[in-house]
Amino acid sequence: MKFVIALLMVVMFRYYTNAQSFIDYNINPVTAKEFKRLSDTDLFKVLDVKSDSINFKKLVFKKQFGSLSKIEKSQLNKHLFFRYAIDSTKIWVFHYIDSLVPIASMPKKSYIVYLDDKKMRHKHETSYKDFVKGSKKHSKEFNNNKDVKFIHFWKAGGQDYPQELLKSLNWYHDSSNFIKRLFSFGVVHFKTQIIYPNGDYVSFYDNKNKVDLKRLIKSKKFMEERQKHQKIVAKRLGL
Cα 10 from Cα 33, distance rounded (Å): 17
Residue 4: is its pLDDT beyond 50?
no
Please state, rounded to an integer, the average pLDDT across all residues of the chain: 85
- What pLDDT sits at residue 142? 80
Q: Is 130 exposed, middle or buried (0-12, 13-18, 19+ CB in 10 A)?
A: middle
The whole-angstrom separation of Cα 54 and Cα 43 is 25
Boundaries of every domain in the chain: 2-61, 64-237
| Residue 229, Cβ density class (10 Å: 0-12 exposed, 13-18 middle, ≥19 buried) | middle
Question: Does the structure show a pLDDT above 80 at 20?
Answer: no
pTM of the model: 0.81
- Kindly list the distances between the CA atom of residue 61 and the CA atoms of 23, 39, 49, 120, 163, in Å, as whole numbers in the listed order: 13, 10, 16, 21, 34
CA gap 195, 231 in Å, rounded: 21
pLDDT, tens digit, 9 for 90 and up, residues 97-136: 889 999 999 999 998 888 777 777 778 889 999 999 988 8
Cα separation, 232 vs 152, whole angstroms? 30
User: What are 160-200's pLDDT values in tens digits?
Assistant: 999 999 999 999 999 998 998 888 766 667 888 999 999 99
User: Which CATH topology does 64-237 take?
Assistant: Glutaredoxin (3.40.30)
93 pLDDT more than 50: yes
> Is the Cα torsion angle 213, 199, 153, 132 positive or negative in sign?
positive
Given pLDDT bands bounded at 50, 70 and 90, which one contains residue 13?
Answer: very low
Query: Which comes out higher in pLDDT, residue 194 or 138?
Result: 194
Lowest pLDDT segment from 51-60, 72-81, 127-136: 51-60
What's phi and psi for 183, nearest 5 deg? -115, 35
Q: How far apart are CA 218 and CA 209, in angstroms?
A: 15
Residues 6 or more apart in contact with residue 83 via CB below 8 angstroms = 172
